[in-house]
Chain A
């Protein structure tokens, strides 16, 4: 069943939550360095099943009504996945949107004036991003659009994920197999529509 046949009524991120063992660093980084307002905090006795620790669940406004939240558990030994390969570490990240280059540079200035300077600034295909590792070791990105996403981009994304479904359903998926499968899908979906193009 195609997703387009069903109403798409979700409205973005309510909150994304992560554990922290460094609430002071976390509050300093998000509230004092980046300037994200604190908008909610649940301070609770750990009454749940088993030995749930007492905790503070605190939230920062990341714009658009969306929130970034942390759990701090009292008396729990810090834990960190030290064995995560760099590739996987960098793949897991939160990207926060800004509208303009001016706003991106403003956050870069705030980071560069702090103990957590911007680590990387990249112009990707459709966005430009700055990256920083937060006090918890989480990679965080702030990104601004370089161009509008078009209908063509959306169509291409759907052909891509269909091709990805196909090649990862088979043996030893590769980018080469993906490109070939995608070419078949394009030829099938747009058979007979080819119009000669010349460049002036």
Chain B
């Protein structure tokens, strides 16, 4: 499983909300965090989150079962281990 944690505050909640539109993804509340989990990769388009630069680039709280393979002005991609080049 690929897991992305974001802090459950107004700034970062939109990432979990956008990620939840993937039918394979589930979002759970774990303490003060939102835990986004899926079997494949997690893809979050920045434009859909409405995050400004500083918020976007500080939005990841933690990652398990994979790695951030892309995090630029277009999107954030968390790849499961094994898919990395």
Seen from chain A, the residues whose Cβ lies within 8 Å of a Cβ on chain B are 122-126, 147, 150-153, 155-156, 159, 163, 175-176, 179-180, 182-187, 189-190, 193-199
Contacts and interface: CB of A to CB of B under 8 A. Distances in A.
Given A125-B11, A194-B28, A184 B64 contact: yes
A183 B29 CA distance: 14
Interface residues of B, number: 32
Contacts of A185: 62
Nearest to A152: B32
Nearest to A156: B7
Given A197-B27, A199-B20, 16 more contacts: A123-B52, A125-B55, A125-B58, A152-B7, A159-B62, A180-B62, A183-B3, A185-B62, A187-B30, A187-B64, A193-B29, A193-B31, A194-B29, A194-B35, A195-B28, A197-B20
Contact of B9 (A122, A150, A190): A150
Interface string B54-85: 11001011111001100000000000000000
